[in-house]
Structure 1
């Protein structure tokens, strides 16, 4: 029996928030586990130069994914709103237009990236001994972009209709396949060719492709409501209204990811100037930091969804309670992760670095300084998730820009002459603490409570400041045995859309 959807407007706030964040956290852990296992194989068996190569290449990949992240969230929101209004036709239109846009864009990126890999890495200041390795790795990653984009888009779309378990299952399949193919293709075990560092990228491409095929087969076999078959080819034609909504709503959200990725690329360029040992130390620390920030990201996403439901219901006391519980969980869960990483850092960092490596002591030093910044980062992420639930995304974007480009980057640049690499490490806690203070100030005195998600009329376009910056977090599938009820006509202040001409169950496509 399918579980009933979790009603976030009732029940204990802390308990519901924690349970709601678990599937998001599990997906984040699975994805990061994939990257960490890759780093272990590359760093321990191919050396510091290879680990530096993957760190530089992965920064570019993160930028490429982040640049369309907001548009993907906009597609998720549009699908979720259409399904909430029982407008299945509109949901499928969004699905078709979004799929055409994402696939077309990813193919362009893949072709361009194959030829631009070397110039991009050289512009980042990738160390000379790592540049050929990074280029071999990045070229294959560019070839994997169409499958990476398609898999991420389908996962978001499924969550938009309330299905979080299906994308998680196929994400786990991808991780298992990637982990399994890594050593086979790196070292040429059995019938597989020995590809070195490029084998790690090929493992990603193969795993993502097989998982994508499996996900598509599942949707077709289950006659999923979002499955578009041969009879639905017309749905893949670009609907200019939908495309305009994706861009107008998605760009402000995506800019936040772009700002983060660009700052990380610039920080990586600064670190590269101190040589391979320091760059490898930073790359190993990044692997640990990926896990440290996971609880805050999962809780922030859950806070956004919980607050959004309660904003729609007018339960402002529960909105404030959501913020309080989110901040508390951030300190508890993030602190629990940071403490052992400090106490056992010699062993955790050694997972990614060869024995007796000079990079190990550098990594321990920078980790002691910078890892605490994620406590402050988590508060900023939670508060931003809550204020975005009303549709206020411009202030969080400005706060992020100020903390990264007005504080972190200038701090690291200006103090390097006196502090050396320590200026880079200290820029993380300083900028994160300032971002936390600015977010709390906006939460307390800002006008986010007066923001709106959508205009009253369906044909109007929302201004960027009226679009939520976080996609709807996953909820359990609706209970198919629940008695049908008449769908109420949404009001402009809550749904932002008029009643659909035909109200169809979300499970109408499952026959």
Structure 2
């Protein structure tokens, strides 16, 4: 091997060799475990809030979490673009290129997360007002949201590190640290909500404070682990300068990341519009919608895990010019999504009432409403998974505008337009039927573009970076770091 390159097939994290279905499954399962644990963490926190404080606090957390996701969306696309660079660099065997892309992502995310946290803290009351948060829930939501904004830096950087690790083919490390995150966050919730010994009673702000603690501990822990285990993205010596964003890399990350960030914003704004429509139906409907969303989070987990695996595998195989495997990876991803998501749909259909009771208590008036919402909308997440897998393949080659347009039409027209225009005629049920309508429309357009679009002929985004950065890469990196990706 030469310079910063590693021969394909020789690395511990290589995804360009071996049986596709088995490799996809083994990569996806730890990611699925991470996603389930993350959702479980949110659900347990919601249980503590609903049981210890009440429906108004639970509605407040649903509104506050939506705003937090909106803020997070600003940086999400840039992190995904950096991860694609990491994955394609690994596929080419360019370890230093992967480190350079990761370092630029770290520098960018550090600045962006601090700015977003400060902006959110200042504008939290106005954001809640724009969302139409019920008056009874507003004080709770404000107290919760402002503490959450303090946790933005470790949350941003933690997600970037997790996705970068998956980009190099390592899905186990994020899984282990997600376990630690859940143990800390969910385990500490009741102590900081009610108070215990020297721990003061903080109410709903205590739930947010445990999230802050957990994310800072995990960020420090995973950083230490990366260096102790000498994982490929660890920066050493002169490579530490990579955290100062490279303008050439930033140009590529911005060009590809901005449309992906807009996709997240489209989804978030659609959720805000939907929440606004739901809030007008009263606090019980808002609480019911909030707990239904908790179960929907679990429904999305298999598709998200499979999509992450597909994206990482496709990016590495494109980097290695293994186009013969790309279509096979996509087909395996679609089959895995159908089986896994379908199984979760059936499971939640059978046990939805006991699940809702965990959040609200068995006698809450919101439970029948939540079950009605769930029965109408649940099956549409199989279609959501189809779209996610197809988009994961397309984006792995740096094609991001077409998915943005498809998602915008599907969510804003087929879902929000459908719900808003027919609400006065058909009543609240049209809100829930808008989810299958939007998912069906989006999956159809995604399938047509995957089959007939020109995404396969797009220029790989790492080629530009590799050409521009070759001289400085060889000059800046440590000789030891160029020979072998340790770990």
CA contact 2:15–2:317 (8 Å) conserved in 1: no
Per the normalisation by structure 2, the TM-score is: 0.89
* Superposed CA offset, 1:194-229 (max 9, x none): 111111000000111111122223334445554457
Alpha-carbon spacing, 1:455–1:110, altered in 2? closer, same or farther (3 Å): closer
CA apart distance, 1:100: 2.5
CA apart distance, 1:316: 5.6
Aligned residue in 2 for 1:488 = none
**Inter-partner Cα distance in structure 2 for 1:17 and 1:143:** 36
CA apart distance, 1:251: 0.8
**Inter-partner Cα distance in structure 1 for 2:53 and 2:309:** 39
CA apart distance, 1:261: 1.1
1:99 aligns with 2:143: no
1:406 aligns with 2:382: no
Aligned residue in 1 for 2:53 = 46
**Inter-partner Cα distance in structure 2 for 1:78 and 1:455:** 6
**Inter-partner Cα distance in structure 2 for 1:184 and 1:447:** 55
Find the partner of 2:258 among 242, 247, 251: 251
Aligned residue in 2 for 1:350 = 357
1:114 aligns with 2:133: no
**Inter-partner Cα distance in structure 2 for 1:8 and 1:86:** 11
CA apart distance, 1:61: 1.0
CA apart distance, 1:294: 0.9
**Inter-partner Cα distance in structure 1 for 2:320 and 2:249:** 27
Aligned residue in 1 for 2:378 = 371
**Inter-partner Cα distance in structure 2 for 1:316 and 1:227:** 29
CA contact 1:94–1:242 (8 Å) conserved in 2: yes
1:234-245 to structure 2, matched below 5 A, reads 234-245=241-252
1:217-296 to structure 2, matched below 5 A, reads 217-222=224-229, 226-228=233-235, 234-296=241-303
Aligned residue in 2 for 1:135 = 142
Alpha-carbon spacing, 1:7–1:198, altered in 2? closer, same or farther (3 Å): closer
Alpha-carbon spacing, 1:308–1:79, altered in 2? closer, same or farther (3 Å): closer
Alpha-carbon spacing, 1:300–1:457, altered in 2? closer, same or farther (3 Å): closer
Aligned residue in 2 for 1:70 = 77
- CA RMSD between the two structures: 2.8
**Inter-partner Cα distance in structure 2 for 1:305 and 1:15:** 14
Per the normalisation by structure 1, the TM-score is: 0.85
* Superposed CA offset, 1:98-152 (max 9, x none): 3222112212222222221111011100000000000000000001111111222
**Inter-partner Cα distance in structure 2 for 1:320 and 1:309:** 14
Find the partner of 1:446 among 426, 450, 453: 453
Find the partner of 2:366 among 354, 359, 362: 359
Find the partner of 1:168 among 170, 175, 196: 175
1:360-509 to structure 2, matched below 5 A, reads 360-454=367-461, 456-458=463-465, 501=474, 508=484
Alpha-carbon spacing, 1:434–1:180, altered in 2? closer, same or farther (3 Å): same
Alpha-carbon spacing, 1:86–1:333, altered in 2? closer, same or farther (3 Å): closer
| Aligned residue-pair number | 475
Report SS of the residue matched to 1:51.
helix
Find the partner of 1:150 among 157, 162, 181: 157
**Inter-partner Cα distance in structure 2 for 1:95 and 1:122:** 37
Report SS of the residue matched to 1:452.
coil
Report SS of the residue matched to 1:325.
helix
CA apart distance, 1:411: 0.6
CA apart distance, 1:303: 2.4
* Superposed CA offset, 1:306-326 (max 9, x none): 344555666666433333332
Structure 1 residue ranges without an equivalent (≥5): 462-495
1:20 aligns with 2:20: no
Report SS of the residue matched to 1:410.
helix
CA contact 1:330–1:375 (8 Å) conserved in 2: yes
Structure 2 residue ranges without an equivalent (≥5): 1-9
1:319-358 to structure 2, matched below 5 A, reads 319-358=326-365
CA apart distance, 1:163: 3.4
CA apart distance, 1:448: 2.5
Aligned residue in 1 for 2:184 = 177
119-128 vs 82-91, greater mean Cα deviation: 82-91
Alpha-carbon spacing, 1:315–1:73, altered in 2? closer, same or farther (3 Å): closer
CA contact 2:334–2:386 (8 Å) conserved in 1: yes
